Each structure stands twice: as structure tokens, then as C-alpha cells.
Amino acid sequence: MNETLTKVRITTYREALREALREALQRDERVFLMGEDVGRYGGTYAVSKGLLEEFGEARIRDTPLSESAFVGAGIGAALNGMLPIVEVMTCNFSLLALDQIVNNAATIRHMSGGQFSIPLVIRMATGAGRQLAAQHSHSFEGWYAHIPGIRIVTPATLEDARGMLWTALMDPDPVIMFENALLYNLEGELAPGAGAVDIDRAAVRRAGSDLTLVTYGGSLGKTLQSAERLAAEGVSAEVIDLRTLRPLDMPTVLASLGKTHRMVIIDEGWKSGSLAAEIMARVMEEAFFELDAPVARVCSAEVPIPYPKHLEDAAIPQVGTIVDAALRTVNRHV
């Protein structure tokens, strides 16, 4: 095999997303990108930088500041055979398009008896840690994962950032892709041939035997760091990256629990009514007798995300709080 085809290269999460966009635009002329500042400005997080010059205004479309309008336009385009990618600047702003997303995109295929599909991908930044205060920093993945008719994906690695988009475009249902904003500068290795990936299954990012740590998106890095610290304490932690939040891949989660018999769920959403609560409930329903200790959760504090750095850090899951919860779960006093 040619060595140049297998040699990995150093890139960033942002650049991996841009490559995915470029590939989709090259691969099918029905694909186009639209959203606030995606064209001349190159995207709020520079993901679409250079694509306007490469593909032109017909396929890289700057929109007015009206989420309801351009998400609705994306739905209409999908209904008429296009493959639209809609970028929403931050998930907080997606609330302005809830009627379009929840009452239209999620329901049309069902209400039409499968006669109409909505192959729409909505990309949006999520998460805290950047001192942008409450109106730009929340995590609504769990909210959207509540809604039938939508698939929710949360790329946490360069491979998934590169590979989830095309698979999502091929889904007959709308897909929301949550990109944690702290990941855009993430740097790492990516194979030159990296392409479309499976979006049906969770991934075991680290094998372990004493404890299962379940997480997704921006919390994966912290969870892997926590597993390293736990290893120094003599605790072997298995790390599950959910990747897709709707539908949940519970067989992978339960298979891990069957090995470790203890679980901590790390979720940047608020604890009340959270995705973590849903996973806990399913564990209780499907695998109660596998548990040697109660399932624990590490979630964000029940407050709007604060602006000051020290308060923002205290409000969201951190390595220290994950490690403490894990040690308590394996009966180590902290």
C-alpha cells in the first residue's frame, strides 16, 4: 500500500469540519450551506472560510439574522430534493427556530406516511467555557434528543468531525450536529483517507474494568483525562463516547456496565430532566441487577452559565469533579 495514503497528518477539528463540507459540496451539486456569516466572513468559527470563493454564492449563502426564516428555507429546500446544510451560530439562537425544527422538520416525514423526507443537516455550536455568558453558552443537546423524528449527533473527535456530515446528509430524517465550541481548535492526527463514519453506534474510547464513564461531545476530553488520573489511583475506567444521542446506543453502554458494574455519566446539560437522567432510567429498567453501586451523574450547575471565568469553570463538569464522583462510586473516599 502506498505509504502516503496511510500516513496520518496533523489537523484541527475546525479544518476537519471544513473538509467534510468541501467533500459534500463536491460530491453532490444538491448540497449547499447557508447561515449567518457563513460566506464572506467565513463562519463565526471560521469553519466555512474559503468556501465562498471556491463554490460561489449560489451554494454558500449568507442569510439575514432570522433563524426561523433560514431554517424554514432549509426545510423547504430539503422537501424539494436539495441537501441543505444550515449553520446556526449557537444552539441558544436555535430556540428562535423551534417551531420550524420541532413542528415541521421533525414531523413531516411521519405525518406524510413517509412520502416526504427532510434530508436536512443543522449544524450548531454548543457548550460553555469561553466566557460568553448565559445567552451563548448553554447545552441543549438533551432538549433536542427528546424529540422523535430528529437524529442528534455530537462529534467529539477529528474523525467524527470529518466523517459525520455526509452520513447525516444521507439520512431521510433531519439531523442536528452539535459542535462543542471548545473543540474547534482541537489539534490531532487524521488519516488522509478519513471519510464518512457510522452514526448509529457509540464508541469505546478507552477500555477498563472497574467503572464505566459515559459522555459525549465536549466532555470527552475531560473524561479521558479523568480516566488517566483514576488509573494513577488504581481504578480502571472504561470511557464510552455516545456520539449519537438520538437514537441512543444502549447496547454498547449496557455491555460496558456488564463488565464494570459501576457507572458515572458526564453531561454538560443541567441535571434536572437531563440526557444523563434518561440514561440512568434506561439502566435501571434494563440492567438494574448489574449495578454494584448507584449510577452517578456529573452535570452543570442548575444556573444560567455565568460570565466570570472562575464561576463558569465551577458551573460545568471538570476533571476534578469527574474523578471525585468516580472515586465515590468505587467506594474510595474523597
Catalytic annotation, residues: 67, 136
Q: Compute, in degrees rounded to 10, the torsion defined by CA atoms 277, 283, 289, 295.
A: -40
* Cα→Cα distances 264→75, 135, 253, Å: 38, 28, 11
Neighbours of 62 (CB within 10 A): 16
Contact 168, 153 (CB under 8 A): yes
The number of CA neighbours under 13 Å toward the Cβ of 332 is 14
Conformation bin of residue 206: beta by default, left when phi > 0, alpha when psi is -120 to 50? beta
Please say whether the dihedral angle defined by the alpha carbons of residues 242, 248, 252 and 257, taken in this order, is positive or negative.
positive
| Element at 11 (helix H, strand E) | strand 9-12
